[in-house]
Amino acid sequence: MASAISFACFPIRTATNSILLSPSSSLRFPRFFPPFSHSHHPRFPTFFCSAKKTTAFAFVSASDAIINESNPKLDDSDSDTNPPSPPQQQPSPSVVTWSLLFRLLLKHKLRLALLLLTLVGCTTCTLSMPLFSGRFFEVLIGANPEPLWSLLSKVGVLYALEPILTVIFIVNMNFIWEKVMSTLRAQIFGRVLIQKIEFFDRYKVGELTGLLTSDLGSLKNVVSENVSRDRGLRAFTEVIGTICILFALAPQLAPILAVLMLVVSVLVAVYKRSTVPVFKAHGLAQASISDCVTETFSAIRTVRSFGGEKHQMRMFGNQVLAFQRSGIKLGTFKSVNEALTRVAVSISLFALYCLGGSKVKAGELSIGIVASFIGYTFTLTFAVQGLVNTFGDLRGSFAAIERINSVLSGVEIDEALAYGLEREIRETKLNDENYKLFIDDSSSEKNLSVNTHYMSNLKSATDIGSLALSGDVCLEDVYFSYPLRPDVGILNGLNLTLKCGTVTALVGSSGAGKSTIVQLLARFYEPTQGRITVAGEDVRTFDKREWARVVSIVNQDPILFSVSVGENIAYGLPNENVSKDDVIKAAKAANAHDFIISLPQGYDTLVGERGGLLSGGQRQSCYCESSA
């Protein structure tokens, strides 16, 4: 379906103070003005905004709307009529929880079982080696009658089997965690995508980018950086296994082990308590750098026009130095804790040498047991140090989870958008693997039925288009304040009619509310009070996803995606499976086909970031085609 309602925000130079344009108006527009909404569908309302300053303007904040210097009142329909509303929304809980991670892990039960089996096998091989080392020394000195080559063959099997099991363990661990992280990253992206527009007013792009990159990267590193023998799960199982074996071999040496574990446990507890704010500050500093880079490069033309390179360098330098300071502080915490761990281990080893040597001399222990004990102590040393590092990575991941939850928890999503999007994805997911990442199959069917019931009361794109063909778009006694500035009234009791089959232009000074009206008509925001209707129907009774399909907006400086011209045009077409013929048809409708085929690769020409490889007029033309 073509766009039934089109909004274009262009500066319109005209001698009149405020104008209401009809299809027969003699006012001329640039050739890439949206002809699809005016000439091809003359009965659809089209709305233009002008930033030209005049003595009288279409709308002034705190005043009634003026169209043709009159104040048309609408019908006497009850503006308090409430449209169907979604179920009562509670503040959203934490987005990333351990229960969610556990549920995502359980989707890979077979691989988890194989992972645990190989983990046991790897640990068994590792913990068997010191035992065989002790027996080896006993064989050498004649204290053990076992043939040397028989013992060496067993050791050879262990040395061959351990790396094979390690490869299987690491491959499965990485596979499972990459799957979990892909799903988690997609679901967080989806959660950000369905936030209300004021959410994006509150947070910078760099901050939101950091959630999906550096913060989730910290969570990913908990596994990817801890799959080696002396880190993560293997270190944990080796610590537990070593303790059990040592108590079985020489219970009289257990106090040394007890002291070692006590000291290390205290160090880990201190580390846990002291590094959380440091990790959090380090992550925030990293996000600030990302935000500064994004803001600078996305506004590079503004920077150049004001000669602001020096200012940006100073600002970026401040962010880098803050990141440097937090990194140095974090490194100091790590180094001090590792040094303390090494001191504790060294003291324990020295005590072992003294006590164990004296017991061998006294004949209370064999040389093989002491040799095995020393080997296990070194195993324990590396495992404990690995656990300390793993705990450090865990604290970093906790800080990252806290940042993610602090941004996304407790905020109200755009429910009307979320319900429509969820329904579409659930209907499509069997045909597209990409969508499965965004669906939590463990969610209850009861919640889905509530959403479906709510959606069944909303009107479709066909209904919206039919209403737009038969009636006016009206703003009835609309009050509005931006959510981040609730004390500043932008619209105060506005009554405005966009006549069906006409082109309406609002002309006014900056800040008069023209762009705000467009954003309300696009349903980026909902009125604080009052309502917007199409042919007398409240727009809140329309499916928000369907509304987006029949309403188009063309900005003066449109932003294109960094893909081809054809893909940018296809982006605005209603169906996902768009053919090249559909794209060409839309381009011809916008009178842009000729300029596109003159490009080096025609419809396959890449437009660059934000469409920077095209001229301003060409970007507008592509945007109009997409809106068609």
Report the domain count for the chain. Answer: 3
Q: Are strands 5-9 and 537-538 parallel, antiparallel or unpaired?
A: unpaired
| Of 217, 189, 184, 182, residue with least CA distance to 101 | 184
- Same domain assignment for residues 63 and 168: no
- Residue 8, pLDDT > 60, answer no
Give the amino acid at 294: T
Q: Are strands 529-534 and 473-480 parallel, antiparallel or unpaired?
A: antiparallel
Query: What backbone phi and psi angles, to 5 degrees, belong to 171?
Result: -60, -45
Segment 412-421 shows an average pLDDT of 74
Segment 612-621 shows an average pLDDT of 71
- Same domain assignment for residues 3 and 136: no
Lowest mean pLDDT among 79-83, 101-105, 111-115, 405-409: 79-83
* Tokens coding 611: 């469409």
For residues 4 and 6, give the distance between their C-alpha atoms in angstroms, rounded to a whole number: 7
Q: What is the pLDDT of residue 431?
A: 57
Q: Is residue 420 part of a domain?
A: no
- Same domain assignment for residues 214 and 239: yes
Q: Is residue 39 part of a domain?
A: yes
**pLDDT tens per residue across span 179-218:** 888 888 888 888 888 888 888 888 877 778 878 887 888 7
Most trustworthy range by pLDDT among 106-110, 246-250, 378-382: 106-110
- Residue 289, pLDDT > 80, answer yes
- The fraction of the chain above a pLDDT of 90, given in percent, is 3
- Out of 408, 423, 447, a domain closes at 408
Lowest mean pLDDT among 142-156, 256-270, 320-334, 339-353: 256-270
- Residue 388, pLDDT > 50, answer yes
- Same domain assignment for residues 150 and 239: yes
Model pTM score: 0.66
Residue 626 domain boundaries? 557-628
- Same domain assignment for residues 516 and 375: no
Segment 558-571 shows an average pLDDT of 77
Q: What is the pLDDT of residue 238?
A: 86
Residue 50 bridge partners (DSSP): 507
Q: Is residue 250 part of a domain?
A: yes
- Same domain assignment for residues 228 and 289: yes
DSSP assignments along 520-533, one per residue: HHTTSS--SEEEEE
* Tokens coding 362: 């006294």
- Out of 554, 569, 599, a domain closes at 554
* Tokens coding 264: 């290390």
* Tokens coding 392: 């450090």
Instruction: Identify the CATH number of the domain in which residue 571 sits.
Output: 3.40.50.300
At residue 9, the 3 state secondary structure works out as strand
For residues 569 and 591, give the distance between their C-alpha atoms in angstroms, rounded to a whole number: 13
Distances (CA, A) of 426 to 306, 359, 412, 414, 438: 49, 70, 22, 18, 9
- Residue 313, pLDDT > 50, answer yes
Instruction: Identify the CATH number of the domain in which residue 287 sits.
Output: 1.20.1560.10
Q: What is the pLDDT of residue 432?
A: 62
Mean predicted lDDT score pLDDT of the chain: 72
For residues 585 and 591, give the distance between their C-alpha atoms in angstroms, rounded to a whole number: 10
- Residue 423, pLDDT > 90, answer no
- Same domain assignment for residues 40 and 122: no
Residues in the chain: 628
- Same domain assignment for residues 256 and 331: yes
Contact 459, 537 (CB under 8 A): yes
Q: What is the pLDDT of residue 7?
A: 52
| Of 500, 627, 493, residue with least CA distance to 560 | 627
Q: Is residue 366 part of a domain?
A: yes
Q: Is residue 342 part of a domain?
A: yes
- Same domain assignment for residues 541 and 615: no
pLDDT level of residue 117 (50, 70, 90 thresholds): very high
Q: Is residue 463 part of a domain?
A: no
Lowest mean pLDDT among 50-59, 458-467, 491-500, 529-538: 50-59
- Out of 554, 571, 594, a domain closes at 554
- The fraction of the chain above a pLDDT of 70, given in percent, is 71
**pLDDT tens per residue across span 69-81:** 333 333 333 434 4
- Residue 332, pLDDT > 60, answer yes
- Same domain assignment for residues 566 and 505: no
Pick the residue with more confidence: 2 or 161? 161
Q: What is the pLDDT of residue 98?
A: 72
- Same domain assignment for residues 389 and 299: yes
Most trustworthy range by pLDDT among 122-126, 374-378, 440-444, 544-548: 122-126
pLDDT level of residue 443 (50, 70, 90 thresholds): very low
- Same domain assignment for residues 162 and 237: yes
Q: What is the pLDDT of residue 106?
A: 85
Q: Is residue 419 part of a domain?
A: no
Q: Is residue 374 part of a domain?
A: yes
Most trustworthy range by pLDDT among 83-97, 158-172, 217-231, 463-477: 158-172
